[in-house]
């Protein structure tokens, strides 16, 4: 990460640390005030009915957050898909398809039989990963998610999961689940661009449930929210696979030298998890969130392979590496959410599934 960008992210998450970041912070605070005001006005327009939301014919569950950056929305959506599908409910995922190159109003990532219709570059890496992990569940991408919701309705689904939908008020939702990072849930407490908040903290009152991810002993309950709060943490899958999805036995990587790379919001968390998984001799390579694996990045990886036995990356990165040709084995490993007490979430899901229209 570039030095100026690193300084900005640190300012937005922890507050100004240097003279330069203090000057930048003071200059951005007036813009943050205006941004927060606009978001409040926008929310009130929807709340009072001056702007209308599309009401789907089936229940809609939104998973989102109030800050920019990764909080674990994809593992959360994946958990919900598996739970709901396991109860015999036909569900679908609708996503904006961040970073995808598609140009249609709405596009379907996978067929009914699970075959993929789009590449990760076309759909965005997260919708592609969800479609790959859940072949029987349709995934749609749409810049205006109303079109994706309508497409899912036409295909006869019984429940829709709206990915990163908390600020997408143009679609009515029956349940709003908000994810917050347990270690630093609101950054420095300011809205963009002086902080990480997408909306003022008062917006959290719209949530039906808050899930604290990366929760630990130092985590605190969300401020200004009195609803149900669940605590969870990221955990690596118990198996590791090749880029083609072939399961790798533990003897293939224990005790070997490894180049670990990740293009996600918090790569340091991934590297820390790898050590607890059993990797000891690791060289870490942090890339940008939603990293595009162009030839320059592939050349960087190739140049970093020397003196290593293998490479390992996240499942989210692996979907963009199907054409990569590395001189040493490259493996992928997924992430799942583990909850301290899942009962409130299960009760909420069972209630909304019983109400499907």
Q: Is 1 helix (H, G, I), strand (E, B) or coil?
A: coil
pLDDT at 223: 60
Question: Does any domain span residue 285?
Answer: yes
d(CA 168, CA 42): 11
d(CA 195, CA 224): 18
Claim: this prediction has a pTM higher than 0.85: yes
Are residues 194 and 82 part of one domain?
yes
Are residues 277 and 195 part of one domain?
no
Number of domains making up the chain: 2
Work out the average pLDDT over 37-42: 97
Are residues 245 and 221 part of one domain?
no
Are residues 263 and 210 part of one domain?
no
Are residues 257 and 224 part of one domain?
no
- CATH label of the domain that carries residue 270: 3.40.50
Work out the average pLDDT over 124-147: 96
Question: Does any domain span residue 20?
Answer: no
Question: Closest Cα to residue 111, out of 137, 74, 89, 90?
Answer: 137
Are residues 243 and 158 part of one domain?
no
Confidence bin at 231 (pLDDT 50/70/90): very high
Question: Does any domain span residue 225?
Answer: yes
Out of 50-64, 102-116, 132-146, 264-278, which region has the weakest mean confidence (pLDDT)? Answer: 264-278
For CA atoms 313, 319, 321, 322, the dihedral sign is: positive
Indicate the average pLDDT of the chain. Answer: 92
d(CA 259, CA 301): 9
Are residues 316 and 290 part of one domain?
yes
d(CA 127, CA 112): 15
pLDDT in tens, 101-113: 999 999 999 998 9
Q: Is 64 helix (H, G, I), strand (E, B) or coil?
A: strand
Question: Does any domain span residue 13?
Answer: no
Range of the domain at 193: 60-233+338-354
d(CA 270, CA 278): 13
pLDDT in tens, 70-103: 889 999 999 999 999 999 999 999 999 999 999 9
Are residues 145 and 212 part of one domain?
yes
Work out the average pLDDT over 258-269: 93
d(CA 52, CA 97): 23
Question: Does any domain span residue 304?
Answer: yes
Question: Does any domain span residue 326?
Answer: yes
- CATH label of the domain that carries residue 111: 3.40.50.300
Q: Is 171 helix (H, G, I), strand (E, B) or coil?
A: strand
């Amino acid at each position: 990460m570039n030095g100026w960008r690193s300084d900005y992210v640190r300012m937005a998450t922890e507050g100004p640390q240097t003279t330069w970041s203090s000057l930048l912070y003071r200059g951005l605070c007036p813009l943050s005030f205006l941004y927060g005001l606009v978001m409040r006005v926008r929310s009130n327009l929807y709340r009072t009915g001056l702007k209308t939301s599309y009401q789907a014919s089936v229940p809609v569950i939104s998973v989102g957050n109030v800050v920019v950056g990764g909080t674990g929305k994809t593992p959360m959506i994946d958990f919900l898909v598996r739970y709901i599908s396991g109860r015999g409910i036909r569900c679908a995922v609708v996503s904006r398809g961040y970073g995808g190159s598609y140009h249609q109003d709405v596009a379907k990532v996978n067929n009914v039989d699970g075959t993929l219709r789009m590449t990760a570059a076309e759909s965005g890496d997260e919708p592609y990963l969800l479609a790959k992990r859940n072949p029987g569940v349709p995934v749609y991408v749409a810049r205006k998610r109303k079109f994706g919701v309508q497409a899912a309705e036409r295909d006869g689904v019984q429940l829709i999961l709206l990915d990163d939908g908390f600020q997408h008020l143009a679609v009515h939702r029956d349940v709003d689940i908000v994810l917050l990072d347990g270690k630093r849930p609101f950054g420095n407490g300011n809205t963009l661009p002086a902080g990480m908040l997408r909306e003022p903290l008062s917006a959290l009152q719209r949530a039906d449930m808050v899930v604290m991810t990366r929760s630990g002993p130092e985590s605190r309950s969300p401020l200004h929210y009195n609803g149900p709060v669940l605590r969870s943490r990221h955990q690596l899958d118990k198996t590791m696979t090749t880029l083609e999805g072939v399961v790798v036995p533990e003897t293939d990587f224990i005790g070997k030298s490894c180049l670990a790379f990740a293009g996600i919001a918090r790569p340091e968390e991934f590297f820390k998890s790898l050590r607890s998984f059993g990797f000891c001799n690791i060289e870490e390579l942090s890339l940008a969130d939603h990293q595009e694996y162009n030839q320059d990045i592939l050349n960087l990886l190739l140049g970093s392979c020397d003196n290593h036995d293998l490479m390992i990356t996240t499942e989210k990165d692996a979907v963009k590496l199907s054409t990569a040709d590395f001189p040493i084995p490259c493996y992928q490993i997924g992430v799942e959410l583990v909850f301290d007490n899942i009962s409130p979430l299960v009760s909420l899901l069972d209630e909304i599934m019983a109400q499907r229209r």
